[in-house]
Amino acid sequence: MNPFEIISKYYNEDSELYRILINHSKLVAHKALEIAEKAGQFKPDLDFIEKAAMVHDIGIFLTDNPSISCFGGFPYLCHGYLGREILEREGFLDYGLVCERHVGVGISAEEIKRKGLPLPPRDMIPATVEEEIVCLADKFFSKKSKQEKPLGEIEKEIVKNGREKKDKLEELVKKFSIKGDLHLTR
């Protein structure tokens, strides 16, 4: 699977959105590999992680987020499952699952129903070490900046979606021995 070939099928390489997507994806891929290399005990697939990180946000062009040059018809929250659909059609379901499961720190079917989210009612929670690594790495970068976010800032963003999200972030941070200013609970 060549991430750049797949992305180029759906994005104009001369567009601002393409530039935003590629810059963000490269940062996430670099961070994901950094996390994975320190997590050798889990035997993560580095090639898969790098490629998955490059395509994890492929569905953003279908969403409406003008601040990052997205003018599609879906809420931004939908970009994960829309990316899965794209990659599944391309024959890459395993990469598509990373797209679907990286949003936030994962979204359960129960949460989708309870909150009335505009998503298919199924679990969209990272299920493999590789999915967890890409999901975590993504939290370190916004689409608007190349600056890596400190853990404390990530924590503040995540906790807005509920205590269980903060707990999941803490679980991932501990699992992958990430150091920083996260205010872990006891």
| Weakest-pLDDT range from 78-92, 121-135, 154-168 | 154-168
Measured over the CA atoms of residue 182, residue 126, residue 5 and residue 63, the dihedral's sign is negative
Name the residue type at position 136.
Answer: L
pTM (2 decimals)? Answer: 0.93
Q: Angle between the 3-10 and 46-55 helix axes, to the nearest 10 degrees?
A: 10
Residues in the chain: 186
What does the pLDDT read at residue 181? 52
Domain ranges for the chain: 3-175
Architecture per CATH, 3-175: Orthogonal Bundle (1.10)
pLDDT digits (tens, 9 = 90+) for 116-147: 999 999 999 999 999 999 999 999 999 998 99
